[in-house]
């Protein structure tokens, strides 16, 4: 099981799945530069799903970053060493008429760029081929049910499942690595095994399970229990040996503890991909109007790119600095021997308690000696 992180819209459309040696943090698992920047280019989306984190709309908002401001953001990100992976998301990034110019500028700057579109009529086969030509690194699609009935019901959009399958075929035909994102809630949990099969039919390279953070429109969705979380993670650890794709988790950093235990039991090296990455540590989110946040699921604003350099906000703002101080975490997370590689979902801690430093309530682990 690998580790990824969400992005912005609809829920986790995070694209990803490429090895980056530069992802290595320092000895304390602190990432001094953002490694993955999730950028909500717009809130406009033809879907505007019932559970959208971004609370997407059918129209663009007047205070979106302009084309020139967007170029300046990319210039600032490209100045970082190493350069972060940029995930263009929304809303639906294809809703911006200048999307292709923004993408081209990112690629000219040498930024590895992934795209998380919505499965709408805008995502034509021609658009997918154009994304391939533009040098996109990976794409993602959301799949929250194994059938049209369940997927469309959860998203509140008829025809979405069929369009998602058609887009997956186009993406596979174009040779772009596909990540399939699935939201984990009490409603979707019974279908996980079936969804795993559909992801395989879609030729996914990565299946990312997004563990619900009750923020945005997702606040109305039913959370699974901590015990169900453990069972699901144990299942994914077995499933990962049976599937042709990587299985990743989003907003479930405690999965790293299970991976470590599995490796230790097998006599393997005690290392885990993405160790330490969490909201605000290796991860940064930019809103459509330039706000800088630790992730799309932690709606706390540390600054705005209209006034400050985004890398400076990541490195020096009070919020981001605090989020990298794992010893200051509360509850079990602050006492846990795994806090440096895990640290819990800061977004979930905030959504559950209002305290961004609190323990992650979805984790069952009792730290040793605590
Ligand atoms: S207690 Fe916190 S730091 Fe420890 S494994 Fe659970 S979520 Fe991670």
pLDDT digits (tens, 9 = 90+) for 248-262: 999 999 999 988 888
Ligand 1, from 257, 341, 362: best to mutate by most atoms within 8 Å of Cβ? 257
Contacts of 193 (CB under 8 A, 6+ apart): none
- Is 333 near ligand 1, meaning CB less than 6 Å away? yes
End-to-end CA distance of the chain: 28
Q: How high is the pLDDT of residue 3? A: 53
**Ligand 1, closest atom to CA 362?**
7
135 band by pLDDT with thresholds 50, 70 and 90: very high
Residue nearest atom 2 in ligand 1 by C-alpha distance: 333
278 band by pLDDT with thresholds 50, 70 and 90: very high
Q: How high is the pLDDT of residue 16? A: 38
**Ligand 1, closest atom to CA 343?**
3
Q: Which of 39-48, 138-147, 181-190 has the lowest mean pLDDT?
A: 39-48
**Residue 361 forms part of a structural domain:** no
pLDDT in tens, 183-231: 999 999 999 999 999 999 999 999 999 999 988 777 888 999 999 999 9
Q: How far is the CA of 285 from the centre of ligand 1 (A)?
A: 23
**Residue 209 forms part of a structural domain:** yes
Q: How high is the pLDDT of residue 216? A: 77
**Residue 97 forms part of a structural domain:** yes
The tally of domains found in the chain comes to: 1
Residue 281's domain spans which residues? 2-353
Residue nearest atom 5 in ligand 1 by C-alpha distance: 254
**Residue 368 forms part of a structural domain:** no
Ligand 1, from 259, 275, 334, 339: best to mutate by most atoms within 8 Å of Cβ? 339
Is 246 within 8 Å of 205 (Cβ atoms)? yes
Is 289 within 8 Å of 265 (Cβ atoms)? no
- What backbone torsions phi and psi does residue 236 show, to the nearest 5 degrees? -65, -30
Q: How far is CA 345 from the centre of its chain?
A: 12
**Residue 188 forms part of a structural domain:** yes
Q: How far is the CA of 4 from the centre of ligand 1 (A)?
A: 17
Contacts of 31 (CB under 8 A, 6+ apart): 25, 276, 277, 281, 282, 324
**Residue 370 forms part of a structural domain:** no
**Ligand 1, closest atom to CA 345?**
7
pLDDT in tens, 24-36: 688 789 999 999 9
15 band by pLDDT with thresholds 50, 70 and 90: very low
- Is 254 near ligand 1, meaning CB less than 6 Å away? yes
Question: Can you tell me which residue has the tokens 């977004």?
Answer: 347
Q: Which DSSP helix (H) or strand (E) runs through 41?
A: none
**Ligand 1, closest atom to CA 256?**
5
Which one is predicted more confidently, 53 or 112?
A: 112
**Residue 360 forms part of a structural domain:** no
**Residue 318 forms part of a structural domain:** yes
233 band by pLDDT with thresholds 50, 70 and 90: very high
Q: How far is the CA of 180 from the centre of ligand 1 (A)?
A: 26
Q: How high is the pLDDT of residue 220? A: 82
CATH number, domain at 258? 3.20.20.70
* 305 pLDDT above the threshold of 60: yes
Contacts of 320 (CB under 8 A, 6+ apart): 280, 284, 294, 302, 313, 314
- Is 257 near ligand 1, meaning CB less than 6 Å away? yes
- Is 360 near ligand 1, meaning CB less than 6 Å away? yes
């Amino acid at each position: 099981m690998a580790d990824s992180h969400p992005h912005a819209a609809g829920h986790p459309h995070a694209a990803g799945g490429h090895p980056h040696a530069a992802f290595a943090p320092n000895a304390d698992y602190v990432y001094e530069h953002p490694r993955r920047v999730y950028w909500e280019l717009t809130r406009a989306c033809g879907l505007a799903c019932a559970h959208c984190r971004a609370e997407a709309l059918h129209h663009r908002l007047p205070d979106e970053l302009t084309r020139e401001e967007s170029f300046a953001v990319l210039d600032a990100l490209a100045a970082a060493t190493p350069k972060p992976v940029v995930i263009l998301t929304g809303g639906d990034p294809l809703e911006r008429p200048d999307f292709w110019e923004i993408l081209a500028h990112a690629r000219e700057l040498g930024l590895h760029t992934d795209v998380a579109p919505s499965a709408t009529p805008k995502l034509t086969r021609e658009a997918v081929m154009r994304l391939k030509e533009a040098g996109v690194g990976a794409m993602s699609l959301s799949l929250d049910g194994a059938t049209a009935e369940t997927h469309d019901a959860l998203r509140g959009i008829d025809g979405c499942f069929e369009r998602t399958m058609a887009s997956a075929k186009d993406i596979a035909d174009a040779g772009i690595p596909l990540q399939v994102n699935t939201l984990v809630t009490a409603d979707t949990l019974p279908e996980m095994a079936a969804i795993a099969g559909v992801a395989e039919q879609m030729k996914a390279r990565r299946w990312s399970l997004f563990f619900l953070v009750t923020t945005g429109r997702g606040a109305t969705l039913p959370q699974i229990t901590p015990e169900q979380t453990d069972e699901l993670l144990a299942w994914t650890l077995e499933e990962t040996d049976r599937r042709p794709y990587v299985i990743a988790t989003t907003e479930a950093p405690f999965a790293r503890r299970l991976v470590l235990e599995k490796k230790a039991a097998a006599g393997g090296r005690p290392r885990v991909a993405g160790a330490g990455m969490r909201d605000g540590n290796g991860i940064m989110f930019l809103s459509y109007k330039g706000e800088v946040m630790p992730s799309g699921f932690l709606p706390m604003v540390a600054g705005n790119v209209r006034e400050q350099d985004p890398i400076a906000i990541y490195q020096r703002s009070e919020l981001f600095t605090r989020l990298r101080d794992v010893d200051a975490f509360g509850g079990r997370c602050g006492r846990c021997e795994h806090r440096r590689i895990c640290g819990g979902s800061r977004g979930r801690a905030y959504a559950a308690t209002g305290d961004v430093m609190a323990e992650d309530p979805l984790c069952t682990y009792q730290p040793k000696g605590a």
